[in-house]
């Protein structure tokens, strides 16, 4: 019978205790852990849950609805060999599917005990969990506004923004953060603002954009741009690590955490930030 090695998660401990007799393999143990993650995302089990693990030829299947709505989700977990586990989430209303792969089962199960649950939860949510919940919220009509738009529309919108606005929008949530980091977007922005720059095949367009922007600032003799604060307003000009800031490096262009730079001053001894 399985258990978990982290006693701090009382919710998961009670789940294992309730369905302990059903846990026979490592796959069963991980299946209950993923089920608990789905519950935390807002999915409720459908029908009779006296026997939670429904075993089918396709794998272990869980049936959910999102919150108290009629939006359905099916979770299927099946092995692809002795060490690989596939987790497949399907929304039948739109035929959308999301897949998450565990490459090493032993990383999460040892001696039929669950380990590294928080890591599993973090990876699942960041890879497919947030997108799955977002899609379910769209289907139920809960999600409105900018996030109700599909990714294709948001990608086109980002191309009309300047790079500072892209960075600011990327700080809103994980979905916009992922869209704001896409290589295709920064290749477009690099071509738009620096048409004479040739990008090497293996070169990161984000870092090249940073490099070209800093070179532009130097040519314009805006020496105040090499500091992490504006000497006039005493407010941050760049995220940490960019433009001479005191942060860890180029990766700090993106959250978390991220503090977008303020609008440049108009007039004054420097005349504001040059348009790109």
| CB contact at 8 A, 115 and 108 | yes
pTM: 0.59
Query: pLDDT by residue (tens digit) across 126-161?
Result: 899 988 998 898 888 887 778 778 888 999 999 999
Query: pLDDT by residue (tens digit) across 212-265?
Result: 888 887 776 554 444 555 555 556 655 554 444 444 444 444 444 444 444 444
Q: Tell me whether the omega of the peptide bond preceding residue 257 falls within 30 degrees of 0, making it cis.
A: yes
Give CATH for domain 149-253: 1.20.1280
Element (H, E) at 74: strand 72-79
**For the domain with range 3-140, which CATH number is right: 3.30.230.10, 1.10.3720.10, 1.10.443.10, 3.40.1000.30?**
3.40.1000.30
Domain boundaries, the chain: 3-140, 149-253
Q: 121 pLDDT band (50/70/90 cuts)? A: very high
Place of tokens 């709505």: 69
Local structure of residue 229 (DSSP, 8 states): B
């Amino acid at each position: 019978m399985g258990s978990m090695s982290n006693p701090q998660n009382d919710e998961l401990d009670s789940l294992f205790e309730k369905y302990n007799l059903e846990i026979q393999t490592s796959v069963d143990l991980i299946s209950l852990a993923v089920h608990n993650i789905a519950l935390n995302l807002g999915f409720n089990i459908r029908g009779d849950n006296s026997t939670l693990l429904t075993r089918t030829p396709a794998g272990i299947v869980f049936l959910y609805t999102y919150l108290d709505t009629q939006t359905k989700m099916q979770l299927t977990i099946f092995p692809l060999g002795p060490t690989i586990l596939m987790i497949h989430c399907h929304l039948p209303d739109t035929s959308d599917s999301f897949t998450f792969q565990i490459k090493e089962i032993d990383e999460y199960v040892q001696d039929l005990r669950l380990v590294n649950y928080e890591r599993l939860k973090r990876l699942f949510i960041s890879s497919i969990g947030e997108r799955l919940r977002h899609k379910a919220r769209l289907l139920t009509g809960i999600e409105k506004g900018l996030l109700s738009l599909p990714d294709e529309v948001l990608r086109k919108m980002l191309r009309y923004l300047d790079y500072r606005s892209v960075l600011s929008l990327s700080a809103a949530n994980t979905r916009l953060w992922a869209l704001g980091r896409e290589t295709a977007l920064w290749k477009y922005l690099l071509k738009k603002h620096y048409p004479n720059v040739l990008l090497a095949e293996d070169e990161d367009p984000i870092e090249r954009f940073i490099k070209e922007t800093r070179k532009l600032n130097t040519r314009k003799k805006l020496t105040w741009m090499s500091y992490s604060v504006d000497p006039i307003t005493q407010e941050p000009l760049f995220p940490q690590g960019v433009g001479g800031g005191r942060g860890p490096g180029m990766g700090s262009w993106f959250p978390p955490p991220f503090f977008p730079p303020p609008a440049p001053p108009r007039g004054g001894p420097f005349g504001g930030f040059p348009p790109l």
